[in-house]
Copies of this chain bind each other. A is one copy, B any other.
Amino acid sequence: MRSFRKALSLQVKGRMAFVNITPQVEAALRESRIQEGLCLVNSMHITSSVFINDDEPGLHEDYARWLEQLAPYDPSPERYHHNRTGEDNGDAHHKRQVMGREVVVAVTGGNLDFGPWEQIFYGEFDGNRAKRVLIKIVGE
C-alpha cells in the first residue's frame, strides 16, 4: 500500500465563496502515482467545507442564499452562543455542517472516478483568513 499527502493553502476573499479545487486534487493524484485506491479531501478547518457538485455559477449563488436562510450571519451572541467567545462566525459552523467536511473519491486507473458533472469544491463560510485543505490518497 502506498500513501500520499498534500495540503493546499487557500485564502478566499469575502465571507462566503466556492472554489473549484478539482485541478489541484488531480495534480496531487498524478504526483502520487497511485492507480487504484481512495482519495480523501477534507477541510482542515471547522468553518469551511469540501463537497462535490456542479461548477455552475447560478447554483453557487443559490447555495449562498439558501445557506444564509438556514443559518444567517449574526455576530450577536444571542442567536449564536458561540459568539460569546468573541468570534462572529457561529453561522459558519452551521453552514459547514450542511455542506459537509470531506469527500472520499474512488481512484481508478490513475484518475478520479467521477460521473459526468462531479467537481470538487472548497466552500468557505468565514473567509479572509488563511485556510488549508488536506488531500490524502491511499492505494497502489
Q: Shortest beta-carbon distance, A87 to chain B, in Å?
A: 9
How far is it, in angstroms, between the C-alpha of A116 and the C-alpha of B84 when the chains are bound?
20
Interface size class of A (residues with CB under 8 A): 35 or more
The one of B45, B79, B93, B104 in contact with A40, judged by C-beta atoms closer than 8 angstroms, is B104
Question: Looking at chain A's contact residues, is the secondary structure mostly helix, strand, loop, or mixed?
Answer: mixed
Contacts of A52 in B (CB 8 A): 46, 101
Q: Which residue of B lies closest to A131 (CB)?
A: B115
A68 on the interface (CB 8 Å rule)? no
Contacts of A26 in B (CB 8 A): none
Q: Which residue of B lies closest to A61 (CB)?
A: B81
Interface centre among A52, A59, A71, A98 (most CB of B within 10 A): A59
Q: Are A139 and B3 in contact (CB under 8 A)?
A: yes
